[in-house]
């Protein structure tokens, strides 16, 4: 089964996917959409279906609604 990377919109194949928060990313696409820091799967925040590091998330949206679970 091929999923689509929510960042670049291209297919993510099994061998290269990085699954985090219920979505499949390319390893290089799983980065903070604000500061471009590489993110660890399952250990980042998400807003509007885009991944952010917790630092940027807190700065932009505050501490509420942060989701670290799958």
Contacting residues toward Zn ion, per CB under 5 A: 5, 7-8, 26, 29, 32, 34-35, 37, 53, 56
Minimum Å gap between C-beta 35 and Zn ion is: 3
What's the half-sphere exposure (Cβ side, CA atoms, 13 Å) at 28?
2
Q: Name which of 19 and 34 has its Cβ closer to Zn ion.
A: 34
Are the CB atoms for 68 and 57 separated by under 8 Å? no
What minimum distance in Å lies between the beta carbon of 6 and Zn ion? 8
Taking the alpha carbons at both ends of the chain, their separation in whole angstroms is 20
Based on CB atoms, which residue is closest to Zn ion, 9 or 64?
9
């Amino acid at each position: 089964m091929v999923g689509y990377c929510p960042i670049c919109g291209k297919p993510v194949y099994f061998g290269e996917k990085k699954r985090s928060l219920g979505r499949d990313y390319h390893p290089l696409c799983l980065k903070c959409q604000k500061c471009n820091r590489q993110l660890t799967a399952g250990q980042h925040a998400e807003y509007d279906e885009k991944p952010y590091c917790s630092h940027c998330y807190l700065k932009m949206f505050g501490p509420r609604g942060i989701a670290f679970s799958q």
